[in-house]
Amino acid sequence: MKEIYGSIVDIRRKVFAEVARIAYNDCDVSELEDSSYRIVPGEVAKYREDIFRERAIADERVRLAMGMDVREISVYKKVTDGFDNVDIDTNAYKNPLINVIKFACEACPEKTYFVTNNCRKCLAHPCTNVCPVNAISMGKDGAVIDEEKCIKCGRCKDACPFSAIIKYDRPCAAACGVNAISSDEYGRAEIDQDECVACGRCIASCPFGAIADKTQIFQLIKAIKSGKKVYGAIAPSFIGQFGAKTSPEQVLEAIRQLGFTDVIEVSVGADVTTMHEAKEYLEKVPNEMAYMGTSCCYSWSLMIKNKFPELADRVSDTGSPMRYTAQYIKKIDEDAVIAFIGPCTSKKLEALNTEIKSDVDFVITFEELMGMFVAKEIEPSEIETDEELNTASASGRGYPVAGGVAAAVKEVAEKLNPEKDIKIQGANSLSECIKMLKIAKAGKYDGYLLEGMACPGGCIAGVGTIASVNRVKGNVKKFMMDSKLNTPLDNELIKDEI
């Protein structure tokens, strides 16, 4: 998305920067009424059929970025309606977190098989021969599919020697691994909030930018400006997100210049997670459970609770790196207000979960952080700093790449118990995670450590990232190599956890 959906990324950044500008400058609420004119200037539409629709969509994006709900098309409300509820310096999130902007949705068709003009109306017509419900016939110009009869099995597509039949699907629904997206009465996308696990893949996949999540930029900046001691906890996937030549130290200093008291690597918390999960695996597998799933991706854990409740106890009880980093910061400063800065929407939902004591007050993404940089005219690559990061191990810094969590836990567990040979299996994307769990239920992964991640490629592909997965993957590898600590066993900062 980051490279090929550039126009949508640009719009999102402008929205985040506008909200951050309003917050930093203590602008009057009336500024919200004409925000869309700054985001979409001029008289000529750039992306849609008219500029009025572009501005209507921008208004909804601004509302979501302020933490407010999307307005119904049929009900008149001002852009500022509900502002009093979010004009605070604490968490303002209320579900639903991820929303369809109906103004923007183009009501894309759901899963469909379509005959293209590549059809040669061949003599063999294998498409009609393989159709189990006789939904295909030969028309004047080629094969014709009766949509009312079609059961979407795809046999016709596979049988056609000319590849004349194609399959297409609504991009957001195709990307949703938990089938949480359906259609309303007008054919527009609709999210089943009971099934949604906030992975954000629909946001990243929609080519119309019709799906967006709420942010906490406004409330976070108000907390900073109120004098609270706000600490940033930045996820290890931040490497490479803010420019190929921008060092990790420059990014941390740039965040401090936004008004943060300090910034801590979440890789420190990852080291703690590794230690706990390694010990938990050695203790419980296979004595108490046949296999164990990692606990870092909240969307993966929530998906299991929703779709495989009988396997919920197979997920590690260990907290996520976000949670342990927050606890680490609280030990440094008990008055700390903690803002997790990461790649995904999933952590926003995790921080809202009252069953988990996360100690996290705010959650923002790298995209939203970039909006704050733009509003304050801060360019991280131009900052001079002599800081040297050395707070986390190489394995902790490797968490955001698919396979990194399981590899770290396996390495430490085998060091703690050299006689143990731990097998690992991973899946990234929720559809692949579901396949892995079905195999595990069949008893084929007994004794394994299973790593599940909602995003293809791992956290470096989260919806809130900025840079390409391949580039970031290389940068993360280098950052791991730069660490003077190999594993959490070498990290003195977490010695109480060993």
Residue 353 pLDDT: 82
What are 436-449's pLDDT values in tens digits? 999 999 999 999 99
Name beta bridge partners: 263: 232
Residue 161 belongs to some domain of the structure? yes
Q: Is 479 exposed, middle or buried (0-12, 13-18, 19+ CB in 10 A)?
A: buried
Burial degree of 221 (CB within 10 A; 0-12, 13-18, 19+): buried
Collect all residues with Cβ–Cβ distance below 8 Å to 162 and sequence separation of at least 6. 118, 119, 120, 122
pLDDT tens, residue by residue, 5-14: 889 999 999 9
**Phi and psi torsions of 286, nearest 5°:** -100, 10
Question: What are the backbone dihedrals phi and psi of residue 388, each rounded to the nearest 5 degrees, phi first?
Answer: -130, 120
CATH number at 143 reads: 3.30.70.20
Query: Phi/psi zone of residue 126: left (φ > 0), alpha (ψ -120 to 50 degrees), beta?
Result: alpha
Peptide bond before residue 96 is cis, with ω within 30 degrees of 0: yes
Indicate whether 1 pLDDT > 60.
Answer: no
Q: pTM surpassing 0.85?
A: yes
Note whether 249 and 387 are within 8 A (CB).
yes
Number of domains the chain contains = 1
Tell me, yes or no, whether 120 lies in a domain: yes
Residue 126 inside a domain? The answer is: yes
Asked if residue 352 has pLDDT above 80, the reply is yes
At 129-146, the pLDDT tens digits run 999 999 999 999 999 999
Task: Give residue 39's region: left, alpha or beta (phi > 0; psi -120 to 50).
Answer: alpha
Residue 154 lies in a domain: yes
78 three-state secondary structure: coil
The verdict on residue 70 lying in a domain is no
Whether 131 is in a domain gets the answer yes
Q: Which helix (H) or strand (E) holds 47?
A: none
Residue 465: CB atoms within 10 A of its CB come to: 27
Phi and psi angles of residue 145, each rounded to the nearest 5 degrees, phi first: -100, 125
Residues in the chain: 498
Tell me, yes or no, whether 333 lies in a domain. Answer: no
pLDDT per residue over 368-417, tens digit each?
999 999 999 999 999 999 998 889 999 999 999 999 999 999 999 999 99
The string of DSSP letters for 426-468 reads EEESHHHHHHHHHHHHTTTTTTEEEEEESSTTBGGG-TT--S-
Tell me which residue range forms the domain holding 121: 112-168
8 Å CB contact between 413 and 282: yes
CA separation, residue 243 to residues 5, 423, 475 (Å): 18, 37, 11
| Strands (DSSP E) found in 277-422 | 292-293, 337-342, 362-365
Residue 119 resides in a domain: yes
